[in-house]
Amino acid sequence: MKSFKTESKKILDLMINSIYTHKEIFLRELISNCSDAIDKLYYKSLTENIGDISRGDFRIEIFADKENRTLKIRDNGIGMTKEDLENNLGVIAKSGSQDFKANAEKNDNVNIIGQFGVGFYSAFMVSDKVEVLSKAYGSDEAYKWVSSGAEGYDVKPAEKDGYGTEITLYIKKDTEDEDYSAFLEEYRIRSLVRKYSDYIRYPIMMEVTKYRPSEEEGKPSEKYSEVETLNSMVPLWKKNKAEIKDEEYNEFYKNLFYDGEDPLKVIHYSTEGVVDYRALLFVPARAPFDYYTKNFEKGLKLYTNGVLITERCADLLPDYFSFVKGVVDSELTLNISRETIQQDKQLKAIGKSIEKKIKGELSSLLENDRETYEKFWNAFGLQIKYGVYSDWGAHKEGLKDLLMFWSAKQDKKITLKEYVDAMPEGQKYIYYGTAKTAEGVKALPQTEAVIDAGYDVLCFTDEIDEFCIKMLGAFSEKEFRNAAGDDTGIETKEENAEENKEISDYIKECLGDRIAEVKITGRLKNHPVCLSSKGAVSIEMEKVLNSMPNAEANKVTAQKVLEINSTHPVFEKVKNLYDGDRERLKDLAYILLVQAQLIEGLPIEDPTDYADKVCKFIS
């Protein structure tokens, strides 16, 4: 027995037991090796004008024998000589594919996957012994390489019909922790091929069990065996877009991502530059049930030359586009296990390009297909708003044109640009109101005042909305102003200002630190009272911040302003009580404050006291 040509047995132990995250990877590695061997022979046939080789004859075959616990993977590729077996399998981390790739000329028909010489050794994760029977193309001699792991290997002459390589794995016995027998099951082999090697360009074939109705009535279905191709071979993303029907895209998406609905948008493109890659991306019709939970995992499926490397590559998508699903295929530099990318800058370049592409496609959708864009917005608009707010507004310039809000005046969703374009001459600010629903915003006393002045109001109904806009600051040089703020810039004519100030000062004294200021105003039209705020924190922001976990320790309080409508009959009552019964005015001031709090959706500190005062006042 020969020893492996490495410094110690520990190196092989490391490669077998530590490099790979999942044992199932072994099948991907061995199939990739078979594909490489076929590629080498095909390349040889092209460069040496070999006439007896047809691309259509190439195949990879899998044979599972449960009784003898063996799994065979066979190809009719270029095969190996004794020297090749010594050099490629006897020297760990020696890659024949990498050498071939370095020496071969650029050829679109040849696609070498292997880069390291360790993929083959993943077989020992599931096998006690591995045999490799190989016969090089053009040779009359065959050799068998046999090894049980780190102890070493033997290479002996053997008999083999035809050129190519056959790998036989003697599968380990099951343990309490590992079900090695599963790798001999037809369904598991089929699923692993579909998962990792579905787009290998040569057919991967296996004899599978099928059933058909019995010809005799009343008898159970007949079981029979048939050789079947397990893989699709040609990735949809490598086909010409002009040749692909919408139905093909939809079926591909639904089958690959287990969605029952067609995607809203398909983005299929390829790019050349710093990094060459192909991408097939999908915008789903609706958010997954767990999308806004911590359990959701973003990412795109990452392939290298048709072989799945990463199920979810999170680095390819920013968080605000985490709803996008799809696949990316690129010839990347992988780490030794081919499970992760070796150079982070490659991923960053692809990710940046994908981000730009998604932005462009969503902008195009907004401009050319408003109905579909609004469906997208209903599903994922919240995530775009989070994108504007996150990272201290680092992404706001690229996302602000995608934002949509409900218009109180137009009664439909509009963009910020559409709001600004519709502003009447002389309007200085973009106005908004906050409530749980658009109807709630429209019902606010302050909203009525802004609309009465001839201006529109954007309805903010999500908790993130006002934080998002605060981060944005302005749009087209127009500042955002809360209709419930103390400075809307809309002038109202005030009468008896001096007399009213005495009344407002007294009410403020009655209410104490429950309120920052009291104003007697004429802007409320038909409503008797409302709460507004001044300063950076609005009433809505106070509610959101104080609803967060552990908020009790650091309560946030907005500077609230109680506004009383000087044109409403209730103010006449206030004036009369101020002149004749100020003790009763204290109760009325408290009642008006609680009513204003109810309008804003704020909690009442003492509902019983409020009810008692209302009843007392009425009686």
Q: How many residues in the chain?
A: 619
Q: Which pLDDT score is estimated for 522?
A: 85
Q: Give bridge partners of residue 70 from the DSSP assignment.
A: 65, 170
Would the pLDDT of 100 be above 50?
no
Q: Nearest to residue 532, comparing CAs of 442, 446, 443?
A: 446
Query: What is the pLDDT averaged over residues 575-587?
Result: 93
Q: Nearest to residue 189, comparing CAs of 340, 66, 311, 33?
A: 66
pLDDT above 70 covers what percent of the chain? 89
Would the pLDDT of 433 be above 70?
yes
Q: Which pLDDT score is estimated for 434?
A: 94
Cα–Cα distance for residue pair 286/263, rounded to 1 Å: 9
Would the pLDDT of 478 be above 80?
yes
More confident of the two residues 425 and 106: 425
3-class SS at 464? coil
Residue 170 CB neighbours (<10 A) = 16
Do residues 164 and 42 make contact, with C-beta atoms less than 8 angstroms apart? no
Q: Find all residues with CB under 8 Å of 439, minimum gap 6, and list them.
A: none
- Residue identified by tokens 């065979």 is 72
Query: What is the pLDDT averaged over residues 290-302?
Result: 92
- Residue identified by tokens 């309080």 is 557
Cα–Cα distance for residue pair 228/554, rounded to 1 Å: 65
Cα–Cα distance for residue pair 291/85, rounded to 1 Å: 50
- Residue identified by tokens 């690959």 is 256
Q: Nearest to residue 384, comparing CAs of 400, 405, 367?
A: 400
* Cα–Cα distance list, 551 to 389, 435, 514, 539 (Å): 20, 21, 19, 15
Q: Band the pLDDT of 8: cuts 50, 70, 90.
A: very low
For residue 553 the two structure tokens come to 């320790």
Query: What is the pLDDT averaged over residues 394-421?
Result: 97
3-class SS at 607? helix
Q: Band the pLDDT of 115: cuts 50, 70, 90.
A: very low
Q: Band the pLDDT of 109: cuts 50, 70, 90.
A: low
Cα–Cα distance for residue pair 438/405, rounded to 1 Å: 10
Cα–Cα distance for residue pair 301/307, rounded to 1 Å: 10
Q: Find all residues with CB under 8 Å of 325, minimum gap 6, and list them.
A: 253, 257, 263, 281, 282, 284, 300
Q: Which pLDDT score is estimated for 301?
A: 94
Would the pLDDT of 305 be above 90?
no
- Please provide the average confidence, as pLDDT, over all residues in the chain: 89
Encode pLDDT of 504-522 as tens digits.
999 999 999 999 999 998 8
Would the pLDDT of 103 be above 80?
no
For residue 489 the two structure tokens come to 């810039």
Q: Band the pLDDT of 247: cuts 50, 70, 90.
A: very high
Would the pLDDT of 343 be above 80?
no
Amino acid residing at 33? N
Q: Which domains does the chain have, with CATH numbers?
A: 9-229 (3.30.565.10), 236-373 (3.30.230.80), 403-482 (3.40.50.11260), 497-618 (1.20.120.790)
Q: Which pLDDT score is estimated for 170?
A: 98
Q: Band the pLDDT of 10: cuts 50, 70, 90.
A: low
Would the pLDDT of 146 be above 60?
yes
Do residues 66 and 153 make contact, with C-beta atoms less than 8 angstroms apart? no
Query: What is the pLDDT averaged over residues 338-347?
Result: 64
Q: Band the pLDDT of 172: cuts 50, 70, 90.
A: very high
Q: Give bridge partners of residue 309 from the DSSP assignment.
A: none
Do residues 485 and 461 make contact, with C-beta atoms less than 8 angstroms apart? no
The secondary structure of 324-385, three-state, reads CEEEEEECCCECCCCCCECCHHHHHHHHHHHHHHHHHHHHHHHHHCHHHHHHHHHHHHHHHH
Query: What is the pLDDT averaged over residues 311-317?
Result: 93
Query: What is the pLDDT averaged over residues 25-41?
Result: 92
Cα–Cα distance for residue pair 185/167, rounded to 1 Å: 18
Query: What is the pLDDT averaged over residues 261-266?
Result: 97
Do residues 38 and 163 make contact, with C-beta atoms less than 8 angstroms apart? no
More confident of the two residues 486 and 30: 30
Q: Which pLDDT score is estimated for 16?
A: 64
Alpha helices in 394-486 (DSSP H): 396-399, 416-421, 438-443, 445-452, 465-472
Q: Give the predicted TM-score (pTM) of the model.
A: 0.79
pLDDT above 90 covers what percent of the chain? 67
Cα–Cα distance for residue pair 517/365, rounded to 1 Å: 47
Q: Which pLDDT score is estimated for 457?
A: 98
The secondary structure of 191-230, three-state, reads HHHHHHCCCCCCCEEEEEEEEECCCCCCCCCEEEEEEEEC
Query: What is the pLDDT averaged over residues 155-176?
Result: 96
Cα–Cα distance for residue pair 521/564, rounded to 1 Å: 6
Q: Which pLDDT score is estimated for 495?
A: 57
Do residues 288 and 296 make contact, with C-beta atoms less than 8 angstroms apart? yes
Q: Which pLDDT score is estimated for 7?
A: 44
CA-based end-to-end distance of the chain: 107
Cα–Cα distance for residue pair 106/112, rounded to 1 Å: 11
3-class SS at 518? strand
Q: Band the pLDDT of 257: cuts 50, 70, 90.
A: very high
Listed ranges 13-17, 412-416, 494-498; the one with the highest mean pLDDT: 412-416
